[in-house]
């Protein structure tokens, strides 16, 4: 196996990890006004992801950095063609991060409501647009002989890609609801489990349709296996959730996300960005990659530092593994009196 094949595999792993971890972050954020009926329950929900959300975003940074270093042509063509959607995702992630930090700075219901809306929007936009983006990557876009995107923004809003967006939106919402049921107690846990069952039924339809379309249009025998694993795991997640086995349900939604992401990357390989203008104009793992020497250096760096990062993040999840409930939320501090006002 060539190093450019290895790095294509590693990038697929990074995106799988990002969608797995950030997926429940997005789900919790989108469900904030649905399950958080009081300020205390909203604080419970936010505290479930408070210690880990920024660490989860590191997977996106590493995936983007690895793509830039290992496949600069792929990176350049993506940003030239997907500039507006990627900009919207970036702005949404920035707004979401600021909202997490600023929400509790002022003891005001209006202040908190506004930042809650920012968290919802900052979670919903990436959850939707990542599916649209990857749908277009697998389907192919209008690349010319210079590997430049020559289509329009509306070319990206095709039915296959839009179904991909609906799928990731529904899947991350289900993943987030299951995570909340796993990490909370009391009323939040009960409502999260009930909602996971309802949203999960929609997710089965959307994900089933998207995976079937992917298999028929771009798949082979290998992708048929991974797509089937994703579908069965999603059904298993709903059954486990119904039986109040939240740990197994979360594991199953995690398998669904990883298997679905693997299906997309396997359907894409050996291309990294197919051209719908002419197959000869497509970017592949060979013509889009960096030099072998660059890939060799990157490989040694990855071997040295990846275990450290994984151990640290695993330790973080272990430390904050316990369930949270309203009894763990301290009473809000009274608004300080400022002299002269």
What pLDDT, on the 0 to 100 scale, is given for residue 329? 81
At 272, give phi and psi (nearest 5°).
Answer: -115, -25
What pLDDT, on the 0 to 100 scale, is given for residue 309? 87
Q: Which two tokens stand for residue 108?
A: 């005001």
- In this structure, of 90-94, 212-216, 312-316, the range with the lowest mean pLDDT score is 312-316
In a domain, 236, yes or no: yes
- Rounded-to-integer distance, Cα 247 and Cα 241, Å: 9
In a domain, 338, yes or no: no
In a domain, 67, yes or no: yes
- Tell me which residue of 155, 93, 174, 166 sits closest to 132, measured CA to CA: 166
In a domain, 339, yes or no: no
Q: What is the CATH number of the domain that holds 187?
A: 1.20.1630.10
- Tell me which residue of 293, 315, 307, 336 sits closest to 70, measured CA to CA: 293
Name residues whose C-beta falls within 8 Å of residue 309's C-beta, 6 or more positions apart in sequence: 58
- In this structure, of 49-53, 128-132, 209-213, the range with the lowest mean pLDDT score is 49-53
Is residue 339 scored above 80 in pLDDT?
no
Strand partners, 184: 324
Neighbours of 240 (CB within 10 A): 19
Name residues whose C-beta falls within 8 Å of residue 198's C-beta, 6 or more positions apart in sequence: none
In a domain, 335, yes or no: no
* Domains in the chain, number: 1
The predicted model scores a pTM of 0.93
- Rounded-to-integer distance, Cα 239 and Cα 338, Å: 54
User: 234: which DSSP letter?
Assistant: H
Q: What tens digit of pLDDT does each residue of 163-175 get? A: 999 999 999 999 9
Structural domain including 298 reads: 3-328
- Rounded-to-integer distance, Cα 162 and Cα 150, Å: 20
- Rounded-to-integer distance, Cα 135 and Cα 164, Å: 5
In a domain, 317, yes or no: yes
What pLDDT, on the 0 to 100 scale, is given for residue 341? 36
In a domain, 24, yes or no: yes
In a domain, 15, yes or no: yes
Instruction: Calculate the CA 196 to chain-centre distance.
Output: 17
């Amino acid at each position: 196996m060539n190093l450019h094949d290895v790095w294509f595999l590693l990038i697929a792993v990074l995106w799988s990890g990002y969608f797995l971890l950030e997926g429940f972050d997005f789900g919790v954020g989108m469900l904030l006004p649905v399950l958080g009926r009081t300020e205390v329950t909203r604080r419970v929900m936010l505290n479930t992801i408070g210690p880990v959300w920024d660490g989860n975003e590191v997977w996106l940074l590493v995936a983007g950095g690895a793509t830039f270093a290992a496949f600069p042509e792929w990176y350049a063509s993506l940003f030239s063609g997907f500039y507006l959607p990627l900009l919207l995702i970036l702005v949404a992630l920035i707004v979401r991060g600021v909202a997490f930090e600023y929400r509790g700075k002022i003891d005001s219901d209006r202040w908190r409501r506004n930042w809650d809306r920012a968290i919802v929007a900052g979670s919903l936009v990436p959850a939707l647009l990542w599916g649209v983006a990857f749908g277009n990557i697998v389907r192919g876009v209008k690349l010319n002989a210079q590997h430049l995107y020559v289509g329009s923004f509306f070319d990206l809003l095709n039915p296959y890609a839009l179904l991909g967006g609906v799928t990731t939106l529904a899947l991350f919402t289900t993943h987030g609801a299951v995570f909340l049921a796993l990490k909370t107690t009391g009323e939040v846990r009960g409502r999260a489990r009930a909602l996971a069952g309802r949203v999960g039924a929609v997710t089965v339809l959307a994900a089933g349709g998207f995976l079937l379309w992917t298999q028929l249009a771009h798949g082979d025998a290998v992708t048929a296996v991974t797509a089937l694993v994703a579908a069965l795991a999603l059904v298993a997640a709903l059954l486990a959730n119904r039986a109040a086995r939240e740990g197994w349900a979360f594991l199953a939604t995690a398998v669904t996300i990883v298997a679905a992401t693997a299906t997309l990357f396997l359907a894409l390989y050996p291309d990294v960005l197919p051209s719908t203008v002419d197959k000869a104009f497509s970017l592949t793992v060979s013509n889009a990659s960096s030099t072998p020497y660059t890939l060799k250096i990157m490989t040694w760096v990855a071997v040295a530092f990846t275990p450290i990062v994984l151990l640290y993040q695993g330790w973080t999840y272990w430390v904050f593994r316990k369930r949270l409930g309203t009894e763990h939320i301290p009473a809000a501090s009274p608004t300080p009196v400022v002299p002269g006002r």
